[in-house]
Amino acid sequence: PRKRCGGFFGAGLAGNVMEMTIMTESKNPETLALHAGYRSDPATGAVAVPIYQTTSYQFNSPEHAANLFALKELGNIYTRIMNPTNVVLEQRIAALDGGAAALAVSSGQAASAIAIQNVAQVGDNVVSSTDLYGGTWNLFANTLKQQGIEVRFVDPADPEGFRSATDVKTRAYYAETLPNPKLTVFPIQEVADIGREFGIPLIMDNTAAPILCRPFDHGAAIIVYSTTKYIGGHGTSIGGLIVDGGNFDWEAHPDRQPLLNQPDPSYHGAVWAEAIKPLGPIAYIIKARVTLQRDLGAAVSPFNAFQTIQGLETLPLRIREHCRNADAVTEYLNRHDRVVKVIHPSLQGGEDRVRADKYLKGGYGGLVGLELKGGLEAGREFINALELFYHVANIGDARSLAIHPATTTHSQLTPEEQLATGVTDGYVRLSVGIEHIDDIIADLSQALDKAASASKITA
């Protein structure tokens, strides 16, 4: 059974400045999103989470300072490593996901990179699903490769592909819960189970399905988020989160996880899986914080963390509306005679649908893909004609958004790589917002008409 340890780097680190409660008694996301990790500021009584816009924290004495640096005592040192505003965000997401602890970082990209670098070093490899956000693909195929970490891509349709690609140097499995453009839900349990046989953690990017999917319930060990998307929800702040499920035994196969089980010269030879044990099952996230976050410095500003907390407070409500509107858009587009294909979990059959229904609860998410008659040209015209939808490289904003991935988010991939991730020439991605559904449909309708006349398509 999973042990919660929300206090460390929460109540512990911030205890001298904030009263922390994680409200473990409630399991309901609507309540946790508003209350987990914070009640009020003991200094002022402020109910909104204060923005602790400070770089540093006054030490009580030389001994206190030395103890903090030696991790003998827990408390705030420097905002690159921890900050009381950020701690609220970390505790809240850990509570929502049923995890043990979390680390807020400067972007979703930083979250993915650190999540891997925390377990893999030069000469190691990671097995990843092919169905990835284009930026993650680049990180894996190029940047991590240049750093000596090989990422082996496998088709997620067959979970056994992960087993086949595994060797003695495999340190992690990686996938997205609801990857776009394919929008086929990843077989979380199946792959997590294979990983646990070998001592390999499954890292899930749950950016597109927060609240709807709880990957720890299905055996994932680590979750990463781009909070830039649904969690922030208002398009104001780039940010990322890494959540530790506290449910993975890093010591079960010590040779498999050397970075957690061998002395770390960067911290006086600490063996993380051993040293952190008295604090709870949070060795992975503590190591990420006090080594990689310390050294690489991907800190999120407290102001951005505050904005993200504001978003998180209404996330369960917004997600419901995103799902409801996306269902209605799917139904509308599916009946439209100028649309060749609509991509949405509700239209899938077979194994894909079984997985969507198993792993997503409360809706199929806010993303919808479509292909128009007239391919690339019609797709471009359609995006150009949209008036309510914004044409942006983002998803998960409260506003409706659209983009043509082949020429934008996925343009740095080769044509073969684009196809492997599901991007075809005519594909348009919609991130359906929470405006009134009639206005969303009206905008799609007029844009489809304009695209049709521009590319002289007859229905």
Residues near ligand PLP (CB under 6 A): 107-109, 133, 135-136, 176, 205, 207-208, 226, 228, 238, 240, 395
Taking the complex as a whole, the smallest distance from the CB of residue 231 to ligand PLP amounts, in Å, to: 10
Taking the complex as a whole, the smallest distance from the CB of residue 71 to ligand PLP amounts, in Å, to: 29
Measured from the CB atom, is 57 or 216 closer to ligand PLP?
Answer: 216
Taking the complex as a whole, the smallest distance from the CB of residue 133 to ligand PLP amounts, in Å, to: 4
Taking the complex as a whole, the smallest distance from the CB of residue 408 to ligand PLP amounts, in Å, to: 11
Query: 48: which residues sit within 8 A by CB, 6+ positions away?
Result: none
Measured from the CB atom, is 133 or 173 closer to ligand PLP?
Answer: 133
Query: 355: which residues sit within 8 A by CB, 6+ positions away?
Result: 184, 185, 186, 187
Q: Which residue is nearest to ligand PLP (CB)?
A: 108
Taking the complex as a whole, the smallest distance from the CB of residue 440 to ligand PLP amounts, in Å, to: 21
Measured from the CB atom, is 11 or 428 closer to ligand PLP?
Answer: 428
Provide the CB-side half-sphere exposure for 424 (13 A, CA). Answer: 15
β-bridge mates for residue 202, sequence order: 173
Is residue 127 within 8 Å of residue 308, measured between CB atoms?
no
Enter the tokens of residue 412: 């740095």
Q: What is the distance, to the nearest Å, from the Cα of residue 317 to the centroid of all Cα atoms in its chain?
A: 19
Measured from the CB atom, is 57 or 225 closer to ligand PLP?
Answer: 225
Enter the tokens of residue 201: 């953690």
Measured from the CB atom, is 16 or 147 closer to ligand PLP?
Answer: 147
Taking the complex as a whole, the smallest distance from the CB of residue 396 to ligand PLP amounts, in Å, to: 8
Cβ-based neighbour number of residue 165 at 10 Å: 16
Measured from the CB atom, is 5 or 413 closer to ligand PLP?
Answer: 413
C-alpha separations of 368 from 29, 328, 364, 428 in Å: 25, 10, 10, 9
**What are the residue ranges of helices labelled H in 103-251?**
108-117, 134-138, 144-146, 160-164, 188-198
Taking the complex as a whole, the smallest distance from the CB of residue 238 to ligand PLP amounts, in Å, to: 5
Look at strands 339-343 and 222-226 and give their pairing: unpaired
